[in-house]
Amino acid sequence: MTHAYRPPAALAATDFWMLAHHERSGQLLVPGRVVAVGLAAALLAELLVEDRIGFDQQHMVVPVSEYPPRDAVAHQVLDQLHGEDRLPVQVWLRHLAQTAYEGVAARMLRRRLVERVEDRRLLGRSRVTYRPVDPNASGWPAARLHIFLLEQRVFADADVILAGLAKVTGLHVRALEGGGHLAERYLDAQIAGARPLYRELFAHTAAVVGSTVMSGR
Amino acid sequence: MSTSFPAPVQRGRPSNVLASLERTRLGLGRLIASAFAAVAPATVVFGGATGGWAVTGVVQMPLAYVAVAVVLAVFSVGYVAMSRQIVNAGAFYSYITAGLGRIPGVAAAMTALQAYTVMQIGLAGGFGYGMHQTLLAFGHDVPWWLLSGVACVVVAVLGLLRVDLSGTILAVFLAAELVIVLVFAAVHIAHPAGGVTTFDALSPAHLSFAGMAVAACVTIAGYVGFESAPVYSEEARDASRTVPRATFITLLVAMVVYAVGSWAMADAAGPGQVVGLAATHFSELPFVLAKPYLGEVWLDAGHILFSTSLFAAMLSFHNTAARYTFALGRERVLPSAFERFNGAGAPVWGSVTQTLLATAAVVLFAAQGWDPFLVLFFAGTVLGGFGVLLLMTVTSVAVLRYFARQRPRRDNFGAWATVVAPVLSAVLLAVVTVLTVWHFDLLVGVPATSAWRYTLPASFAVAAVVGVARAVYLRSMRPSAYAGIGQGAPDLGTAIALATAAPAGPIGATGPGEMTGRGR
């Protein structure tokens, strides 16, 4: 299992996308609304990791650097952040969640990680899903999280972010399978030990996910 | 759940982000519809008022509907002012936490959970009974428990699929319900008993304090659901305006429909006979009274809408209770399993628990041969209403204390909303509570010597004590979870002080963490 030490795909939203979809069928594992909020949080996390944004005392997002990110979607997000006055993290999460799914899907398509599949339905409407090109690659973030939790390996920053976002969107349940109470405690300890900025992002994401589930919208 | 939205224009610069979010939010109509789903006019007029007469023997139910609406309106003044300060989907519970501290908050959460659960169970029985009567009108005799059981299964499936009767379907049914209640009322008013219209049912003469308090508690059960608009304050468009409006409009419309509908029945039956007739016919009373003057189609429509109304209310309380367990699971007040949601976004274990409890109650009542209408439906919903009465009383005190500590905010809302109205509603609701507890035997229709008159109200005390115990446990064993109580966020092993106040409006930006570090 040497390749178990291979790092995640490095971009949080890409990893989160893979975690949130079935590695073969490409089906969503939690409700679409929740995935959208998780992807929005992952997009902010990408900018946090590179120190392009920060949060202030009033829980507002503060753009720090204008140096353009390499990824087009991250670039777009950063442009939006620069184009506005400071707004609360939760407002940004809700806003980005409106377009995060399509945005990250475009990134996944560009990198040939998924392919677009159109389901023709008997009655008119067709539905678009994104099927992973390589089930092994697609299943990797989930598998890595699973292995790391069960074997209590040392988390890298990218692992902590993915684990935290998984926890607040309910995606951690699959990763904990077979790990019992110990794995769960290890996960909680990793999240509790994350950088304060990440923990704050997790808490805001959790609040938005919670209100999405509560209000059913 | 914590930070609410600032107005779309900040510091003079228009925000595309806030404008785009504004478009996705709920308008006034949706807020009112969501409140009315639980309020269910036909259920209250045909089932609640007739049950009230049959069980309590108080003629003045119509008067109680008016008086209680006024008290609830006074309560709502402080309640909606609070909803602009604390945006959290578990309204009563989070307000009590913010005003009185975490331990009373968790006690309130348990009480609320019990109240909504009992309400749902009562409505399951009510649906079985109402549907039984409907099918009888069509010539089929199907036992009530079978129909209640089917309703439990259907509600379980809809609950897990995350189906809320909302939007158009709900609006159509509500409109039909209102029309049918008013048509029946018109027929009743046109044919008063003995040909003479009387207003005895609206007159406080010959009414004892006990009778008034018991009638008030019965009618409060009919209004439960009006408190739901602030739950959506985070999702509402222009919440500071639409949420109060939705609350007051719901109260006003419900009051008019309840008072007119029930007074018309009392008028048609005759104030002297209405109690006796209600005790014979129960929810069939409006149909019996209208039968000589209304076509078969109207009676059938009335029966069907009575059943659908009960079903909508049952589904609404099922979802409310399930979401409550979800919110409490997130904050670790309940076990974390309740935090899970399924692929449809439904809180799985909360929903399953509600289904199991309702089914168990139906099975128990069927096996024991207990009355589905008087006991399961009426006593169940009234008991739920009593729980909400307790919560509203404590919430009034919480609102008062919250604003007493937040001077700038108090000045912003004025003394009426932050001092006078909360004091007034706390006193009025407390009086009703005390008198109701004193005369609980009248309320649920048991003999004065029955132990039920003590055990039923005491069950809420048990729920509250369980809540206190859980809060004390969390304080010593899991401080980070304790710190997060009432914050709407899960325990992430860290007490991040999420801003609990809305920075909207002229209050100005409020600092974060005003809830934490107070060491309660």
For residue B131, give every residue at least 6 positions away whose Cβ sits within 8 Å of its Cβ, in sequence order, or none. B142, B144, B147, B151, B307, B310
Residues whose CB falls within 8 Å of the CB of residue A193, separated by 6 or more in sequence, listed in order: A160
Helix/strand/coil for A128:
strand
* Cα distance between residue A215 and residue A144, in whole Å: 33
Biggest CA–CA distance in chain A, Å, is 53
| Nearest-CB residue to A59 (from B3, B20, B21) | B3
Asked if B516 reaches chain A (Cβ–Cβ under 8 Å), the answer is no
Across B55-74, b (16+ Cβ under 10 Å) vs e yields bbbbbbbbbbbbbbbebbbb
Helix or strand or coil: residue B10? strand
Half-sphere exposure of A31 (CA within 13 A, CB side): 22
Q: In percent, how much of chain B has pLDDT > 70?
A: 89
Please tell me chain A's helix, strand, coil percentages from 3-state DSSP, rounded to the nearest 5.
60, 10, 30
Instruction: Give A-chain residues touching B341 at CB under 8 angstroms.
Output: 30-31, 34, 170, 213
Phi then psi for residue A121, to 5 deg, are -100, 160
Length of chain B: 520
Residues of chain B in contact with residue A85, where contact means CB-CB under 8 angstroms, are 10-11, 13, 15
- Complex confidence, ipTM: 0.72
Residue B340, SS3 per DSSP: coil
- Token readout for B275 is 């109690």
Is B17–A92 a contact, with Cβ atoms under 8 angstroms apart?
yes
Residue A94 and residue B343: Cβ atoms within 8 Å? no
pLDDT tens digits, one per residue of B269-320: 998 899 999 999 999 999 999 999 998 999 999 999 999 999 989 988 998 8
Nearest to A34 among B5, B345, B347 (CB): B345
Conformational region of residue B6, where left means phi above 0, alpha means psi within -120 to 50, and beta covers everything else: beta
Which of 52-111 (B) contact A at CB < 8 A?
A: 89
Smallest Cβ–Cβ distance between A33 and the set B323, B345, B489 belongs to B345
Chain A residues touching residue B350 (CB < 8 angstroms)? none
CB of A123 within 8 Å of any CB in chain B? no
Q: Which two tokens stand for residue A41?
A: 């949080």
Closest CA to A158 of A194, A183, A127, A110: A194
Amino acid at B167: G
From first to last of the 217 residues of chain A, give the pLDDT tens digit.
Answer: 444 445 555 689 999 999 999 999 898 888 888 999 999 999 999 999 988 999 988 888 999 888 888 889 999 999 999 988 888 898 999 999 999 999 999 999 999 999 998 877 666 667 788 999 999 989 999 999 999 999 999 998 899 999 999 999 989 888 888 888 899 889 989 999 999 999 999 989 988 888 787 776 5
Instruction: Say if CB B354 and CB B159 are below 8 A apart.
Output: yes
Which superfamily does CATH assign the domain made up of A12-215 to?
Answer: yeast vps74-n-term truncation variant domain like (1.10.3630.10)
Confidence band (pLDDT; 50, 70, 90) for B13? Answer: low
Q: DSSP 3-state assignment of B122?
A: helix
Interface of A with B in 160-189 (CB under 8 A): 164, 167-168, 170, 173, 188-189
Distance from CA of A3 to the nearest CA of B (A): 30
Q: Which residues pair with A121 in a beta bridge?
A: none
pTM of the model: 0.83
* Of residues A84, A199, A211, nearest to B1 (C-beta): A211
Task: With CB atoms and an 8 Å threshold, state whether B494 touches A217.
Answer: no
Domain definitions of chain A by residue range: 12-215
C-alpha torsion sign, points A157, A85, A217, B467: positive
**SS3 at position B9:** strand
In single-letter form, the type of residue at position B171 comes to A
Retrieve residue B435's tokens: 């008198």
CA distance A210 to A217: 11
A125, two tokens: 């409407």
Q: Determine the angle formed by the axes of helices B28-39 and B167-190, rounding to 10 degrees.
A: 60
